[in-house]
Amino acid sequence: VLDVRTDIGAYLKAHLPGAVYLHTETLRSAENGVPNLLLPAQSYRALFTRLGVAPGRRVVIYASGESRNIDATYVAWILQGFGQRSVHVLDGGFGKWELEGRPLSRRYPRDEAPPFAASEFRPERATLTDVRNALHRADVVLVDARPPDQFLGQAGAQLRRGHIPGAVNHYWQDDLVEGEIARTWKDRRVLRAAYEEQGITPGKEIIAYCNGGLESSHVYVTLRGLLGYPRVRVYDGSFTEWSEREDLPVATGSEAARGSAPAVPPS
């Protein structure tokens, strides 16, 4: 059981019995200056070994259950890249668990597992080149998982504001329903209808992006894990990488459907 809440103090106060602590930011770092990319496979092997994760062992991941479900889905996306067969995200996270009066602990688990010896790391990941080429393909949908104001270019910390041309804005929190203290996924039928209404359908290849892979991992888990979409990838460089490249186009305003091909050559 992995506790991925952003505040280690919250873990020290109470956590699920047997849970070990992991801060999501230890899972990514800079590469060629881009500050939020995946680490090499060997780094994850060392980290997951320390946490007691082993191939074939069931893993349950939980975040706060409020606005940080994305921490749990990001870890799930990485583990699935190693072919981990049984990876689960706790719906509603710690907040729902605590609200329902379920068991809590303050003890640190003493759990030794064999080395995390998964041989290959093949995350369902898209690169900048993949996204450039996708701009010219009608069978690919780019899904921007950020808040609408960032998509429209009204907010954002990146060097340029806006979105990748042709992208569809599907804010990741729209997949959730507000509870007393936690947010949980909406009914599968409601989720499927919402995505398909935007043209995000199972027959197309989906590339989700945000600012750095976290929000888009939530779309990934929703489409792959809950709705069974066969081809979904996360562009972890996301708009942080894209917007810094002045040779790449950026769109602003309400343009949200695929239109004419942007003025950028495929590579």
Neighbours of 11 (CB within 10 A): 20
The catalytic residue among 22, 210, 221, 250 is 210
Residue 94 and residue 261: Cα distance in Å, rounded?
A: 44
Reference 93, options 115, 64, 131, 121; nearest CA is 64
SS3 for 153? coil
- Whether residue 126 contacts residue 233, with contact meaning beta carbons closer than 8 Å, is answered with yes
- Whether residue 16 contacts residue 92, with contact meaning beta carbons closer than 8 Å, is answered with no
Mark whether 210 is an active-site residue. Answer: yes
> What is the DSSP annotation of 21-41?
E--GGGGEEEETTEEEEEPPH
Cite the active site residues: 210
